[in-house]
Amino acid sequence: MNQAQQLELFTADPDPIDPTPAAPPQTPKEPLATTTIATPCPPDLPAGSRWREVRTADQAIGFVLRRSRRKSIGLVVSDDGLQITAPGWVSLSQIDATIVEKSRWILKKLRIQQARREQLAMADTHWQDGGTIPYLGKRIVIRLGVASDGWLFEGAPFTPGDGDVLRLPLPHDADRLRVRDSAHAWLQRKATDWFGLRLAHFQGLSQLQPKRWRLSSATTRWGSC
């Protein structure tokens, strides 16, 4: 079920329409102690809507903007991301300022939706031959019975596609716990490779060298601190 979070904002007499978007006010805030939440533009926008992005103190937030005859600005966070419905008389600069003001609430709800999607994805996982697991935004297929001492991934490790195959070095009749543990071990190895590459990239940009880094055995959501 798509559980949306909604927030109603001001109702006021119409102000003169300001057709020129203005830079939103940047109120100093302490940064959020978590990673950036992706807010990508959907492939198909609803009729009569537009895509817009606003830079806040924490990160850029993208949203679908739709005009209506309502008397207030409405914010809805769902599995489809952030959607803003605003009266025609509210200027873009006012909408941008609202996003900046409510950014903490928006990002909190987006993270809740993200965690829910991750939990649902893992709940759909079947630890068996032919089962699928989420990997870098795609679903890859588990295959058992590889005659080798290691894993074999049939696809591009860091740009996978739906249906790519991960072959595990387990017999066809392996129980679900062995399948899960083997798949988890492969995922952690790929995570180490991926974060190592990203870390090297940012080291080159910042000229900073960390003393050490490691992956934890987190049982909730990766990528938060």
Q: Mean pLDDT in runs of 10 for the chain (225 residues)?
A: 60 46 47 69 88 93 93 90 93 95 94 83 78 91 82 92 94 89 92 89 85 72 45
End position of a domain, from candidates 86, 117, 148: 117
Asked if 72 and 130 sit in the same domain, the reply is no
Question: What is each CA distance from 42 to 52, 59, 63, in whole angstroms?
Answer: 11, 19, 9
End position of a domain, from candidates 88, 117, 146: 117
Position 58 in a domain: yes
Cβ contacts of 82-88, under 8 Å, gap ≥ 24: 82/39, 82/106, 82/110, 87/14, 88/17
Asked if 73 and 135 sit in the same domain, the reply is no
Position 70 in a domain: yes
Position 155 in a domain: yes
Asked if 113 and 136 sit in the same domain, the reply is no
Position 128 in a domain: yes
- Count up the domains in the chain and report the number: 2
pTM, entire model: 0.50
Rg (CA), the chain: 22
End position of a domain, from candidates 70, 89, 117: 117
pLDDT value of position 167: 93
Asked if 151 and 104 sit in the same domain, the reply is no
Asked if 92 and 40 sit in the same domain, the reply is yes
Position 221 in a domain: no
Asked if 150 and 52 sit in the same domain, the reply is no
Position 222 in a domain: no
Position 218 in a domain: no
pLDDT value of position 224: 43
Backbone φ and ψ for 167, nearest 5 degrees, come out as: -95, 125
Domain containing 128 equals 124-206
* Residues 216, 191 contacting (CB under 8 angstroms): no
N-to-C CA span, the chain: 28
Asked if 98 and 15 sit in the same domain, the reply is yes
Under 8 Å CB-to-CB from 51, ≥6 apart: which residues?
A: 41, 42, 45, 62, 63, 64, 65
Q: What is the dihedral of CA 49, 106, 138, 221, to 10 degrees?
A: 180
Question: In this structure, what DSSP letter does residue 96 have?
Answer: H
36: left (phi over 0), alpha (psi -120 to 50) or beta: beta
Asked if 109 and 173 sit in the same domain, the reply is no
Asked if 22 and 107 sit in the same domain, the reply is yes
Asked if 106 and 175 sit in the same domain, the reply is no
Position 211 in a domain: no
DSSP H helices in 4-142: 92-101, 103-123
Asked if 100 and 59 sit in the same domain, the reply is yes
CA gap 15, 132 in Å, rounded: 53
Asked if 9 and 103 sit in the same domain, the reply is yes
* Residues 50, 29 contacting (CB under 8 angstroms): no
